């Protein structure tokens, strides 16, 4: 989880990071790993249940998937964005089907909380 967060933050900043780099070659990447690890340890000492935190972080990430898939499908079908390399029929079918299923699964999760 900490390394995944480091990849996300570094890439979000427009930089590269990899575990293949030595710590001296990429201080930002390894610094973020250390910072997130320290935050997780701190949460444990403050009495937060680490397993519940992992579950909730997975839920938050899961809620971001449907809108991101929707945006990806719009972008990959836009000639303005990708030129002539737009999705074909099969890719469109699979992409939109996946998007709909993830929206439905997210909705089912929310409904199950109140049922």
Q: What is the pLDDT of residues 39-57, one digit of tens each?
A: 888 888 898 887 888 888 8
Domain ranges, residue 90: 62-115
pLDDT at site 59: 87
Q: What pLDDT, on the 0 to 100 scale, is given for residue 95?
A: 96
d(CA 95, CA 69): 8
According to the model, what pLDDT value does residue 8 have?
A: 87
pTM above 0.75, yes or no: no
- 54-89: b (≥16 Cβ within 10 Å) or e: eeeeeeeeeeeebeebbeebeeeeeeeeeeeeebee
Residue ranges of the chain with per-residue pLDDT less than 70: none
Say if 53 falls within a structural domain. no
Split into its structural domains, the chain has a count of 2
On whether residue 80 sits in a domain, the answer given is: yes
Residue 6 within a domain: yes
């Amino acid at each position: 989880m900490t390394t995944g967060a480091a990849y996300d933050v570094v890439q979000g900043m427009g930089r590269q990071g990899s575990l293949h780099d030595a710590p001296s070659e990429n201080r930002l990447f390894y610094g973020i790993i250390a910072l997130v690890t320290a935050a997780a340890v701190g949460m444990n000492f403050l009495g937060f249940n680490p397993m519940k935190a992992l579950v909730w972080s997975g839920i938050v990430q899961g809620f971001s998937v449907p809108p991101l898939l929707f945006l990806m499908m719009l972008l990959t079908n836009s000639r303005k964005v990708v030129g002539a390399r737009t999705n074909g029929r099969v890719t469109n079918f699979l992409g939109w089907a996946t998007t709909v299923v993830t929206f439905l699964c997210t909705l089912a999760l929310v409904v199950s909380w109140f049922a």
